[in-house]
């Protein structure tokens, strides 16, 4: 089962600060969206083979249209309750979405987490025993998590968020969400000696942190991505390009060990929840690389050489969908 990107066509101004798109058929995916009248769909995230969308009717949904094993004749649509905005928070700008199970339609324990820009983090059980699912809303006190992304750790059975800079990781129990998460402080080790030019370049970059769990191997990695503005458009939009990337292998004691060797793994970074696959299981993939895909660029980094290959790539829906046998 090949890994493919979603195809999309931008339509008009979105209702929230994510790209609005009409989802199109992409070879290898379900054609179910082509069988319904076109409508404006805002993709707000993707995780576990599902995409989270916001339609014109204002209803949030989980959809499996771009799951390679989805049914063409009976696609799944899981409506979620209306969002509730906490005081001094906002729910218009969504950072990302994470699901704890690849079967949110019938797994009573499956939890959906939505991370918003700012302090709000929201949880919902779509198939819970309650007759009417509702959101449990958490207000994060530490501002280092405000712009970070949430991921689900199958190994720890927790939702986890890396703080800005990557020195702190917050963890939330999916079944007992609390305003008081558990924290893990990281100690960075085996740091590489950078040239002055490389350090100066990285100092000019915008850094983002991504927690990635390799379910085939049980390993957890912290990936730091460094992007630099290369152009400002006439509309005032910054075009950015990845200039460096660093990977740290995490252990249970809080050590974050810099590494240039993740073995046979390929790591995928996009607007979806990041994931890893074994290169040997997918012809055409090369091991020990990190592939990235964003609204304005696509490329990869060879970890052994640290060399970055990147090209400008305009895409309204930059989402990698993982193969279902690794979820």
Which residues of the chain fall below pLDDT 70?
1-40, 57, 130-131, 325-327
pTM of the model: 0.85
Predicted confidence at residue 86, as pLDDT, reads: 97
Give the pLDDT confidence of 29-78 residue by residue, as tens digits.
333 444 444 556 788 999 988 999 987 767 789 998 777 777 777 888 89
Q: What are phi and psi of 33, to 5 degrees?
A: -70, -20
pLDDT attached to residue 93? 93
* pLDDT digits 0-9 by tens, 243-273: 999 999 999 999 999 999 999 999 999 999 9
For residue 257, the cross-strand partners are 189, 249
Q: Give the C-alpha distances (Å, rounded to integers) separating 42 from 49, 67, 98, 104.
A: 17, 17, 16, 20
Q: How far is CA 156 from CA 35, 107, 200, 258, 267, in A?
A: 40, 18, 37, 22, 20
Residue 211 near residue 160, CB atoms below 8 Å: yes
pLDDT at 327: 52
Complete DSSP assignment for 6-73: PPEEE-S--SSSS-EEEE---TTS--GGGGS----EEEEEEETTEEEEEETT--EEEE-TTSTT--SS
CA-based nearest residue to 146, from 118, 123, 111: 118
Between CA 164 and CA 306 the distance in angstroms is: 23
């Amino acid at each position: 089962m090949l890994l493919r990107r979603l195809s999309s066509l931008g339509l008009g101004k979105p209702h929230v600060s994510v790209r609005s798109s009409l989802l199109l058929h992409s070879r290898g995916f379900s054609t179910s969206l082509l069988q319904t009248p076109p409508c404006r769909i805002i993709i707000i995230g993707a995780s576990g083979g599902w995409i989270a969308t916001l339609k014109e009717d204002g209803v949030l949904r989980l959809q499996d249209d771009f799951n390679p094993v989805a049914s063409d004749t009976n696609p799944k649509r899981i409506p979620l309750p209306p969002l509730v905005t906490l005081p001094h928070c906002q729910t218009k700008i969504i950072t990302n979405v994470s699901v704890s199970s690849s079967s949110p339609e019938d797994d009573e324990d499956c939890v959906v987490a939505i991370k918003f820009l700012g302090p709000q983090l929201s949880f919902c059980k779509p198939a819970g025993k309650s007759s009417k699912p509702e959101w449990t809303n958490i207000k994060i006190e530490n501002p280092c998590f405000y712009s970070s992304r949430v991921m689900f750790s199958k190994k720890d059975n927790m939702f986890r968020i890396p703080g800005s800079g990557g020195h702190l990781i917050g963890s939330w129990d999916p079944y007992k969400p609390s305003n008081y998460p558990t924290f893990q402080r990281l100690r960075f080790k085996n740091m590489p000696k950078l040239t002055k030019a490389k350090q100066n370049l990285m100092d000019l970059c915008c850094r983002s942190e991504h927690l990635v769990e390799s379910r085939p191997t049980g390993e957890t990695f912290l990936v730091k991505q460094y992007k630099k503005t290369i152009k400002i458009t006439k509309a005032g939009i910054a075009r950015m390009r990845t200039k460096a990337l660093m990977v740290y292998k995490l252990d249970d004691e809080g050590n974050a060990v810099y590494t240039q060797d993740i073995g046979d793994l390929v790591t995928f970074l996009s607007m979806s929840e990041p994931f890893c696959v074994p290169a040997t299981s997918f012809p055409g993939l090369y091991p020990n690389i990190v592939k990235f895909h964003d609204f304005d660029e696509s490329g990869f980094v060879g970890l052994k050489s640290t060399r970055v290959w990147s090209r400008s790539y305009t895409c309204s829906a930059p989402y990698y969908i993982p193969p279902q046998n690794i979820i």
